[in-house]
Structure 1
């Protein structure tokens, strides 16, 4: 039995190895999974942060020795995620070009049908330092369901249309990177903005549904899930990130 790091009302944070944890979760118990897995960019290089050159190294959790190891990692956690997802549930996975193609292949290999390839276009991307290629201004979010289930997945079509001024919502979402006002609790290298998770959660869950984030990081998924009245479980192997997530969650009022 894995003891929660934080448990209040319908929100749980767990400090654990993701594979150990997923093996213990009840089959077909989650309505939605959102995952922002490691991009595996910690290769000794440099990136741009606030106009300054900074190391891309984030920690051992973001290091990989080979393409095969990266793909095996993705197939393994996606396989375990499929087991715990309800028949009508869906999974969202975000990533950059460094990891998302492995994720997409792994989804199909493990029996998922990809529903959408969402392009998140950032209005304020950091410029590249080398000036040898185009500025990276987008990330991809794959939305998928179990391919072997005949039950229809849940999609709140009418609400998405309403949010989009009465028109069908497209698969290109435009918005800023995470605001400084959302980073007050601590530093995380890939913190997602709350508006992005709000749209994802509203599109694919109902109030009271169970949401799992297996790479919870700074806790954005949990913060938004709590605000929207969903039940939430977030897992991470890094205790420093869980401290940030807990601090943020404790400031959210139901």
Structure 2
């Protein structure tokens, strides 16, 4: 691994478009990313070209080539052009960085998820789609002119559909919604989660709250990390924000790299993760020499 000579956990202050190509291929069993949603903000991006190792022969959605899908996606609506030019090379890097038994979790909302699925079908192949998870929550404003939007979408893709790691036995079970319809033994055990996850947001007054505006609850990431990685595996979040993946990975015995270019996020993660991770900068800051 190249991020630290001692191979330890890292919080990296970097533009992920520049940093990701420096990491070794196949290094991570799990990649979870929660990128900025396309809400009209201007995205900064690098004008670099990311190259896959399997270019030229992959067929994506509807039997079309990846290049055709990319063109159709970018021309469908100009509003999305900047966002996808920003996100696409990072998803290509995610494919390269996953191990053969690895899994990508891409966390989005209703504005972008359908476009993202078409793009991931092209990058990974439709046969590598595993799930679309619906995270439903019950906090926030209540719309009166339409059904209130109270869920996020998490697309799950695997690097190799014949080799990916998934262990549902490690996942916390949840109560039955109709406990009277099952035996007392089943009620006590609980049931395995489905692809619809009911989980509240981070409590504004709870101990878990860091103050970072887009912080995700640890319970959500605990389920992801437990199912799709093993103790000792490397996990990556390159839109790390408040560092929830790192906090969960540390508690479950996984090794992690968390990347963000926002100085506020780096400060939050440094405090939250403490001695469990070193804070690095990429490119490295020049070494200060004592004055003569």
Q: Give the TM-score normalised by structure 2.
A: 0.70
Instruction: State how 1:212-231 maps to structure 2 within 5 Å.
Output: 212-231=236-255
Pairing partner for 2:132 from 93, 103, 117: 117
Q: Secondary structure at the match of 1:153?
A: coil
Aligned to 1:40: 38
Aligned to 1:137: 150
- Are the counterparts in 2 of residues 127 and 135 from structure 1 also a CA contact under 8 Å? yes
- Are the counterparts in 2 of residues 227 and 252 from structure 1 also a CA contact under 8 Å? no
Aligned to 1:92: 105
Instruction: State how 1:101-250 maps to structure 2 within 5 Å.
Output: 101-112=114-125, 113-128=128-143, 131-146=144-159, 149=160, 151-160=162-171, 163-164=173-174, 165=189, 167-180=191-204, 181-182=206-207, 184-185=209-210, 187-250=211-274
Higher relative contact order (CA 8 A, sep 6+): 2
Structure 1 residue 72 and structure 2 residue 95: aligned? Answer: no
How far residue 192 of structure 1 moved from its aligned partner, in angstroms, is 0.3
How far residue 76 of structure 1 moved from its aligned partner, in angstroms, is 1.2
How far residue 107 of structure 1 moved from its aligned partner, in angstroms, is 0.9
How far residue 251 of structure 1 moved from its aligned partner, in angstroms, is 7.9
- Are the counterparts in 1 of residues 3 and 23 from structure 2 also a CA contact under 8 Å? no
Q: Secondary structure at the match of 1:134?
A: coil
Structure with a larger share of its residues in strand? 1
How far residue 184 of structure 1 moved from its aligned partner, in angstroms, is 4.4
Q: Give the TM-score normalised by structure 1.
A: 0.80
How far residue 132 of structure 1 moved from its aligned partner, in angstroms, is 2.1
How far residue 103 of structure 1 moved from its aligned partner, in angstroms, is 1.9
* Distance of aligned partners of 1:145 and 1:230 in 2 relative to their CA distance in 1, 3 Å threshold: same
Q: Which has the larger radius of gyration?
A: 2
Show CA shifts across 1:46-88 (max 9, x none).
xxxxxxxxxxxxx8569xx831222232221111111110011
* Distance of aligned partners of 1:150 and 1:104 in 2 relative to their CA distance in 1, 3 Å threshold: closer
Task: Give unpaired runs (5+ residues) of structure 1.
Answer: 44-58
Task: Give unpaired runs (5+ residues) of structure 2.
Answer: 46-77, 175-188, 278-292
- Are the counterparts in 1 of residues 202 and 209 from structure 2 also a CA contact under 8 Å? no
| Root mean square deviation of aligned Cα | 2.7
* Distance of aligned partners of 1:69 and 1:171 in 2 relative to their CA distance in 1, 3 Å threshold: same
